[in-house]
């Protein structure tokens, strides 16, 4: 196992105690903790630069613009984009997918067209397409998941035809951790001329990702799930699609000219970034990318697989506990959802919190998947670079105590 335990000292919040116990933070699929390098970058921006971008001829404005665009270049390099202008800063994955649905979908989908999704999608990759279907008359089709919690491609040939215009898939499930079959769906899309949209909110932070090799047309992800600030994310798109796509927000910054009755858009990516952007957050995003690049994404992936393997082995020893997700760590990430007997996930999370253990409980913005699994909710532990096997042991002990509390022993 790659030893990243030395990184824990970079995360101030991990020094907290909760209810008299050291914090065991196991909710990184929801949001990650921030290293001091990211915190300092944001603080330094506000203390020493803090000006608006692209608008001023004075020194601070030029420095702010350089910092903002430097972060865009870092994010582009991190995901293997060929040019920084292929990266649009958004408020996060949800906003990015909405940009695609409204900016591309409204202008390219119509009656009889189909959007192909999977039942493991986050609501952010379902609801926008539902709304667009009402506007355009297109229909939604779904691939199910198999007994191993992975997307079932056996019905793909029955669904796939020239009416499929969009295939939208999660790169990694935020519930089961299952990797999405992006490569297979890209090949399927090529056969019928469809575009592929990847919700990479869980993929980019955990798996080395090169968009030039992935083959998708759009990739969306969020900074806060990869050590960066909240309120910012990125949409990567193929240049020709970004050029043809309409902006979904209008106002300042995204125009090259405004007349009384018509306007012309600024070049990509700025035509999608209306108004004052989240400059400090972008600086923090760049610092997070620097941090992960220094660690090395291959090591991030190896570390997470080792922690996940250890967790799956430990949890398998707990009676009455069901884990939802692929057993093979090569086919999954570090989001481990589970159910303890018939105890509601919120009750499990409440007991664990008494021992300083932070896990997620609920439907995880994936209600269609919850219904498919026939559970109202799950508890979820999710791991990142700062987690250790000791964290897993603490979770194990907490769940054993929960069994006692609920009379399962």
Is residue 87 assigned to a domain? yes
Residue 392 belongs to what domain range? 5-27+296-405
Task: Enumerate residues 6+ apart whose C-beta is below 8 A from 212.
Answer: 80, 81, 82
CATH number at residue 240: 3.40.640.10
Q: Mean pLDDT across the stretch 181-202?
A: 98
Angle CA 307–313–314, to nearest 5: 85
279 with 341, same domain: the answer is no
Is residue 37 assigned to a domain? no
Is residue 36 assigned to a domain? no
Nearest to 397 by CA among 340, 360, 361, 355: 355
Catalytic residue among 175, 315, 340, 365: 365
CATH number at residue 399: 3.90.1150.10
164 with 124, same domain: the answer is yes
pLDDT 10s digits, 83-123: 999 999 999 999 999 999 999 999 999 999 999 999 999 99
Question: Is 365 designated active site?
Answer: yes
pLDDT in the model for residue 56 = 86
170 with 206, same domain: the answer is yes
204 with 279, same domain: the answer is yes
261 with 309, same domain: the answer is no
Is residue 365 assigned to a domain? yes
Extract the runs of DSSP E, i.e. beta strands, from 36-147: 87-90, 114-118, 139-143
**Whole-Å CA distances, 338 to 113, 280, 381, 385:** 37, 37, 8, 21
Looking at every residue in the chain, the average pLDDT score rounds to 97
Nearest to 339 by CA among 391, 375, 371: 375
Sign of CA dihedral 75, 79, 84, 89: negative
Q: Mean pLDDT across the stretch 365-378?
A: 97
180 with 210, same domain: the answer is yes
pLDDT in the model for residue 55 = 81
369 with 287, same domain: the answer is no
pLDDT 10s digits, 2-34: 889 999 999 999 999 999 999 999 999 999 999
Domain count for the chain, please give it: 2
277, 293, 309 - which closes a domain: 293
pLDDT more than 70, % of the chain:
100
242 with 381, same domain: the answer is no
Q: Mean pLDDT across the stretch 243-268?
A: 97
Q: Mean pLDDT across the stretch 125-149?
A: 98
* Rounded Cα gap, residues 220 and 356, in angstroms: 33
pLDDT more than 90, % of the chain:
99
pLDDT 10s digits, 320-365: 999 999 999 999 999 999 999 999 999 999 999 999 999 999 999 9
By CB neighbour count within 10 A (0-12 exposed, 13-18 middle, 19+ buried), where does 299 fall?
middle
Is residue 261 assigned to a domain? yes
For the ranges 53-57, 63-67, 204-208, 321-325, the lowest mean pLDDT is seen at 53-57
263, 293, 323 - which closes a domain: 293
23 with 54, same domain: the answer is no
64 with 98, same domain: the answer is yes
Is residue 342 assigned to a domain? yes
74 with 216, same domain: the answer is yes
Q: Mean pLDDT across the stretch 205-213?
A: 98
Nearest-10 crossing angle of helices 279-295, 297-315: 80
Tokens matching residue 354:
């008494």
Is residue 57 assigned to a domain? yes
229, 263, 293 - which closes a domain: 293
Q: Mean pLDDT across the stretch 196-224?
A: 98
196 with 322, same domain: the answer is no
pLDDT band at 404 (very low <50, low <70, confident <90, very high): very high
Q: Over 80: is that where the pLDDT of 1 sits?
A: no
Is residue 138 assigned to a domain? yes
Q: Mean pLDDT across the stretch 65-78?
A: 98
């Amino acid at each position: 196992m790659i030893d990243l335990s030395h990184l824990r000292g970079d995360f101030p919040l991990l020094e907290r105690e909760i209810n008299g116990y050291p914090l065991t933070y196991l909710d990184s699929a929801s949001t990650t903790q921030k290293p001091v390098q990211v915190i300092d970058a944001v603080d330094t921006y506000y203390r020493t630069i803090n000006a608006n971008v692209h608008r001023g001829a004075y020194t601070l404005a030029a420095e702010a613009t350089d910092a903002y665009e430097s972060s865009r270049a870092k994010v582009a390099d991190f995901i293997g984009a060929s040019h920084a202008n292929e990266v649009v800063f958004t408020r996060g994955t949800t906003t990015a997918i909405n940009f695609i649905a409204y900016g591309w979908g409204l202008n390219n989908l119509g009656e009889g067209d189909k959007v192909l999704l999977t039942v493991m999608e986050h609501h952010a990759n379902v609801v926008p397409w539902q709304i667009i279907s009402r506007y355009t008359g297109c229909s939604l089709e779904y691939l199910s998941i198999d007994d191993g919690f992975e997307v079932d491609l056996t019905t793909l040939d029955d669904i796939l035809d020239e009416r499929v215009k969009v295939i939208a898939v999660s790169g990694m499930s935020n519930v089961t951790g299952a990797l999405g079959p992006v490569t297979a769906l890209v090949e399927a899309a090529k056969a019928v001329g469809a575009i592929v949209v990847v919700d990479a909110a869980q993929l980019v932070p955990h798996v080395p990702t090169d968009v030039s090799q992935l083959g998708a047309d759009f990739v969306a992800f969020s900074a806060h799930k990869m050590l960066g600030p909240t309120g910012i994310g990125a949409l990567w798109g193929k240049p020709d699609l970004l050029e043809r796509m309409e902006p979904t927000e209008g106002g300042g910054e995204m125009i090259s000219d405004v007349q009384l009755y018509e306007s012309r858009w600024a070049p990509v990516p700025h035509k999608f970034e209306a108004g004052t952007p989240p400059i400090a957050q972008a600086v923090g995003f760049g610092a997070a990318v620097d941090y992960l690049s220094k660690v090395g994404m291959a090591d991030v992936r190896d570390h997470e697989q080792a922690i996940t393997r250890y967790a799956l082995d430990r949890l398998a020893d707990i009676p009455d506990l069901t884990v939802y997700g692929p057993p093979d760590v090569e086919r999954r990430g570090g989001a481990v959802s589970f159910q303890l007997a018939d105890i509601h996930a919120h009750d499990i999370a409440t007991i664990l919190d008494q021992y300083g253990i932070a896990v997620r409980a609920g439907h995880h913005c994936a209600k269609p998947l919850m219904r498919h699994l026939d559970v109202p909710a799950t508890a979820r532990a999710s791991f990142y670079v700062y987690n250790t096997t000791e964290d897993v042991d603490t979770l194990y002990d907490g769940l054993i105590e929960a069994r006692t509390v609920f009379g399962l022993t």
